[in-house]
Structure 1
Amino acid sequence: MQPLIQGLVFIVDDDASVREALAWLLRSRRLASEHFGSAD
């Protein structure tokens, strides 16, 4: 049986809509993500 989550991806982008779109795409591939508006 495969784990539900296969990895963790950090998304850093100043555009909230880009962060949300990437998070949605990654979830569809069973990848967890954390997103941030900047690298600071």
Structure 2
Amino acid sequence: MPLSQTRSYTRTHIDANVLDMVLHENTYWKSYVMTYIYPSYS
């Protein structure tokens, strides 16, 4: 796997983990996302 691809994957993976952690910390924001943002993608 090219280094640039690895770096891109790592950054995406870290961003996902940070976002997941923030959403777990903030129940109100998580419910807001699930109610207003998530349905528009499904």
On whether the aligned pair clears a TM of 0.5, the verdict is no
Which has more helix, going by share of residues?
2
Q: TM-score range by the shorter chain?
A: 0.3 to 0.5
Tell me which of the two structures has the higher relative contact order, counting C-alpha pairs closer than 8 angstroms and 6 or more residues apart: 1
Which structure dedicates a bigger proportion of its chain to strand? 1
